[in-house]
Structure 1
């Protein structure tokens, strides 16, 4: 049996105001063509189909075109929701996607069987997939309660909670089938890209799994969430295929891929990485202030299509008025211009984080990534923050 494993599409991704969706669309087209040319029996997508909970129409088109291409090639697929996805939004289209051969698992239900999906291959073999969508610690406790687990002590026991669910999935494996597990989570020892360290405005990576928590009955564990391609476990065999394009400057230089998994019932799986060629390269260039003009001239002559982040090294206190506009004018492919001296001088009161409210931190984050924070986005953030505070006060919990 041949299974193509991919993850972390992030359709709708916007980087410093630049929409990456056309590149992601091209990558998904490339992956669908690979699935057909490699004659795979199924495709597994391990979460983060979209970059935001409310994706754009172009982002939805990129994803749905991908699934339609698989349908045209008569290739079934199984997908799960990731932490960037709206599980409720995806759950609303599971029925429709089922008509084109997509078994989408968006939410955990009181029926464990809903997490077990099977595909009959043209060769007569059966692929059984235990598919667990992303669960934050809060959702883990709620979902475990629905399935009858003892949750009284689980608020600080993420691993035990996840192991409970993984055991439920392994119980659905069948002798004579190819049995795989799919989840969107962080395994101990996995190496993140720079993007996971800086771009995600949440703390979910504080909760990790040990490879020892994975059921050994799984012949392959199809992981999602970490954007750097890598093997993350050996018993059972667990892999992250990584994101499909370089999504953030922290991923600059990474080679993107999908995994082709060859496996037979009861036999060890063999993983063959297949490189992807879609997506513009993200490159960070560092240049001293007194060499800016010459370096900009050289970079402007390059025709490699890379998107640039320019770090200008300038002594503290140096006058740099108009520098950013000069760089952006000379290099249309530059998405970001930063002064390294200002970035490093954390002693400046204006750059300290201490004493800033959560809203002020969010405004700084948004400004760094996309520019001025829109009023409606600010209002939505305040409303969400106030709702969380009200819940915490009502429950008597403390915010970590």
Structure 2
């Protein structure tokens, strides 16, 4: 059996206001073509199909076009929700996606065995997938309620709660079938991409799992959430394929890929990384204030997107700096001052003493403009609730 594993599309991603969706659409078209040329029997998508819970029409069109391309090639798929996805939104279209051969597991069920999917392939073999969508601590507590567990205990024992779901998913494995697990989570020892994001929407993102908790009967664990491609476990074999393009400047220089897994029932999988060519390359360039033009001249042939970090003496007046950089390098998305000088040269960028709300307002202003009142209220409510739970 040949299984193509991908994850972390983040369709709809804006980088400093620049829409990356066309590049993501191109990458998804490339992956669909690879699935066909590599004779994949099944495609697994381990979460974060979208960058936000309310994606744009173009973002949805990109992902749904990918699914239609798989349908046209006769290749079924299984997808789970990630922490950036709206689980309820994906759940609402699960029935429709099933008509094109994409089985979606967006939310946990009271009986985890119901999250096991069986896929019949063209070769006659069956793939059994224990599909575990992203579960924040708060979602896990809600699931514990459904199961009649002690929510206070579950909140303090995230690993044990996740372990419960993983064990139950393993109970759905079938002899004579290729058995796999999908999960959108962080495994101990996983190396993240450097990220320029300073605010996490999920305040419980620091929870991790041990590789020892993965079901021993799984022949491969298809992971999502970490954007840097890597294998994180040998027994069972578990791997992140990573994001499909360089999503922010923290991922600059990373080579993107999908994983092709060749495996027979009961056998050990063979993983072949397949590089992706789509998406503009990102690069950070550092230059002294008096040598910006000379430094950027060396980047004339670079067709990707730049972040330019300018080193300047403290107290230097910097009128028109961004215009000066853009004249030399029109493909620049961000112009920043050297971190050592930032607080002195631009006091408004100081973060010390700012509240979480103020930091979020700044983040939103940089990415999408002024923060709407309803979103401000929702963020405030979530922040207050998180503080109350932390105190409790």
Please tell me the TM-score bracket, short chain as reference.
Answer: over 0.9
Counterparts of 1:29 and 1:308, CA distance in 2? 25
Contact kept? 2:315, 2:345, Cα under 8 Å: no
Contact kept? 1:191, 1:228, Cα under 8 Å: yes
Counterparts of 1:263 and 1:197, CA distance in 2? 37
Corresponding residue for 1:61? 61
Counterparts of 1:233 and 1:16, CA distance in 2? 35
Shift of 1:121: 1.2
Counterparts of 1:111 and 1:346, CA distance in 2? 57
Corresponding residue for 1:373? 370
Corresponding residue SS for 2:28 = helix
Corresponding residue for 2:7? 7
Contact kept? 1:182, 1:222, Cα under 8 Å: yes
Corresponding residue for 1:147? 147
Superposed CA offset, 1:218-276 (max 9, x none): 10000000000000111111000000000000000000000000110111111100000
Listed as ranges, the matches of 1:85-234 within 5 Å are 85-195=85-195, 198=198, 200-234=200-234
Instruction: Name the TM-score, length of structure 1 as normaliser.
Output: 0.93
Superposed CA offset, 1:62-94 (max 9, x none): 000000000000000000000000001111100
Shift of 1:124: 1.4
Contact kept? 1:196, 1:226, Cα under 8 Å: no
Is structure 2 residue 384 aligned with structure 1 residue 387?
no
When the two chains are superposed, the root-mean-square deviation of aligned CA atoms in Å is: 2.1
Counterparts of 1:315 and 1:196, CA distance in 2? 24
Instruction: Name the TM-score, length of structure 2 as normaliser.
Output: 0.95
Unaligned runs of 5+ in 2: none
Counterparts of 2:196 and 2:269, CA distance in 1? 28
Q: Flag the 1:348–1:247 CA change in 2: closer, same or farther, 3 A.
A: closer
Corresponding residue for 1:323? 321
Is structure 2 residue 38 aligned with structure 1 residue 38?
yes
Superposed CA offset, 1:36-55 (max 9, x none): 00101100000000000110
Corresponding residue SS for 1:205 = coil
Corresponding residue SS for 2:205 = helix
Runs of 4+ in 1 over 6 A off after TM superposition: 346-349
Contact kept? 2:260, 2:271, Cα under 8 Å: yes
Contact kept? 2:2, 2:41, Cα under 8 Å: yes
Shift of 1:34: 0.3
Is structure 2 residue 311 aligned with structure 1 residue 313?
yes
Unaligned runs of 5+ in 1: none
Superposed CA offset, 1:314-341 (max 9, x none): 1111121111111123322100001105
Q: Flag the 1:68–1:397 CA change in 2: closer, same or farther, 3 A.
A: closer
Contact kept? 2:342, 2:350, Cα under 8 Å: no
Is structure 2 residue 2 aligned with structure 1 residue 21?
no
Is structure 2 residue 354 aligned with structure 1 residue 356?
yes
Matched length? 392
Shift of 1:141: 1.3
Counterparts of 1:385 and 1:201, CA distance in 2? 9
Corresponding residue SS for 1:192 = coil
Corresponding residue SS for 1:203 = coil
